[in-house]
Amino acid sequence: MGVHLDGPMGAGVSRLEVIEGPSGRRRRTKAERARIAAESMMPGVTVADVARKHGTTRWQIYDWRKQLRKGNLVVPESVASLPVFAELVVDDSSAEPAVSVTRSDLEIVVGDVVIRAGADADEEQLTRAIRAARAAAS
């Protein structure tokens, strides 16, 4: 086999890389792209590591992740059944605002003033509140 390298005569080549396989772009199926994108979303995994592992670029994986979120790619059942992926269901049936009920653990009456305090109220707060209530009542 004859090889011709362009360059000055007598100059050595420090590195020669031979790439085998079909020339041009690698075509991946939708299932492969979805699987790789899903792999990049696993906890503790970086996009750069996944890109290097599968011989693609980070930007390509980010694009596949976007397609996955939009629904253009579908995660294979083998990946979707893993415990790290969960189906998200939004239930709007309880959209009614919750009624706020104030419950106090302690109630102090000073004249016409009622002081209600929760269990998290400390002694200093209660002392100030009682003094203020007494001052207002006199």
Handedness of CA 125, 126, 129, 135 (dihedral sign): negative
> What pLDDT, in 10s, does the model give residues 94-104?
666 655 555 65
Is 107 within 8 Å of 114 (Cβ atoms)?
yes
Q: Does residue 9 surpass a pLDDT of 80?
A: no
> What pLDDT, in 10s, does the model give residues 34-72?
989 988 888 788 999 999 999 999 999 999 999 988 888
- Full-model pTM: 0.43
Is 107 within 8 Å of 115 (Cβ atoms)?
yes
Residue 3, beta-bridge partner list: none
Provide the residue type at 60 as one letter. Answer: Q
Q: Does residue 5 surpass a pLDDT of 60?
A: no
Q: Residue length, the chain? A: 138
Output the pLDDT for position 138: 64
